[in-house]
Amino acid sequence: MKASFKKVTASAAALALTATVALAGCTGQSASSASSAAESSDAAESGVELQIFAANSLSKAMEEVQAIYAEQTGVAFADTQYEASGTLNEMLGGGAYADALITASKATMDTAVKEGYVDDSTRFDMFTNDLVIVSALDSSLENVTLEDIASGDYTLAVGDASVPAGNYAKQSLSTTTPPCWISADGAIGAESAGKDGTFDGTPLAGKVTEGSSVGNVCNYANSGDVDLAMVYSSDVYRFGNVKTVGVAPNDTHKAILYPAAVCVDSAYPEETEAFLQWCFTNEDAIKVWQEWGFEMA
């Protein structure tokens, strides 16, 4: 009996030891999980919610990038506003709140700095883009040049004065022979602002439709309302249903840049600057930008 009792006692001890080790392991795992959960909870409960004002052409890519950043950091985003760059400035001038501004042209960011909407010390260029000529997917047109447009044989859609892509298009159209767009101050190409001017008296008189956004401009081409449209290369990725049939030479317009800056009224200036820098340097973010047709500046 004593021997049997010893065996039972030993077995019980072994079971107890095994249970203790297992419990310790579970406890360690629980502690680790609890720690990770706590860290995640702390990030999610940080209370940081950023309001971004961004150029229309960034919408699809920005949504993906923000989702990645929110998952990695716990920072939340309010309803990001995507508008023509000039409209974003008007919104800020009207008292709208934003933490960051990303425009589709140097000129619109210059205006934001001049009007005191953004902190100039935080400003930097994020992306570049190309100005392309597009048509409907079922169009037979291909290898279209600016000189082809200057023939007057085609109808065309471009952005209006508030749309940077439209400004760049008009700059390019002013360089053709004969010119297809005439600046009010007589400036040509990159020397022009591409805002104040006319198509009257040119081969395109009565043949141009101006849209209030690049989305509208693409739709005019997609629907067949016009033969051709001039938009950013990234817009072809973003909207689809159009095809690139030509490219406006870079020397016919100002360099296409997307500057970014922290707004002066931001409640989270450090967090906003961190997000903008992450957008510019993080490999996951860069991959998204490139997939949507943007190049890092």
What pLDDT, in 10s, does the model give residues 215-262?
Answer: 899 999 999 999 999 999 999 988 888 999 999 999 999 999 999 999
List of long-range contacts for 246-250, beta carbons under 8 Å, 24+ apart: 246/132, 246/133, 246/143, 246/144, 246/145, 246/146, 246/148, 247/130, 247/131, 247/132, 247/133, 248/130, 248/131, 248/132, 248/133, 248/146, 248/168, 248/169, 248/172, 249/146, 249/172, 250/130
- Strands in 187-293 per DSSP E: 197-198, 208-211, 228-232, 242-247, 257-262
Q: What is the mean pLDDT of residues 31-54?
A: 59
- 120 and 149 both lie in a single domain: no
Tell me how many domains the chain contains: 2
Nearest 10 degrees: Cα torsion 9, 14, 17, 18: -140
Q: What percent of the chain has pLDDT over 70?
A: 85
Q: What is the pLDDT of residue 45?
A: 52
Same domain, 178 and 247: yes
Q: Is the pLDDT of residue 127 over 70?
A: yes
147 and 183 inside one domain = yes
- C-alpha to C-alpha distance for 288 and 160, rounded to whole angstroms: 28
Angle at 214 between CA 210 and CA 220, to 5 degrees: 60
Looking at the structure, do residues 186 and 214 belong to the same domain, yes or no?
Answer: yes
The answer on 240 and 136 residing in a single domain is: yes
> Can you give the pLDDT at residue 240?
85
Range of the domain at 205: 131-252
Predicted TM-score (pTM) of the model is 0.74
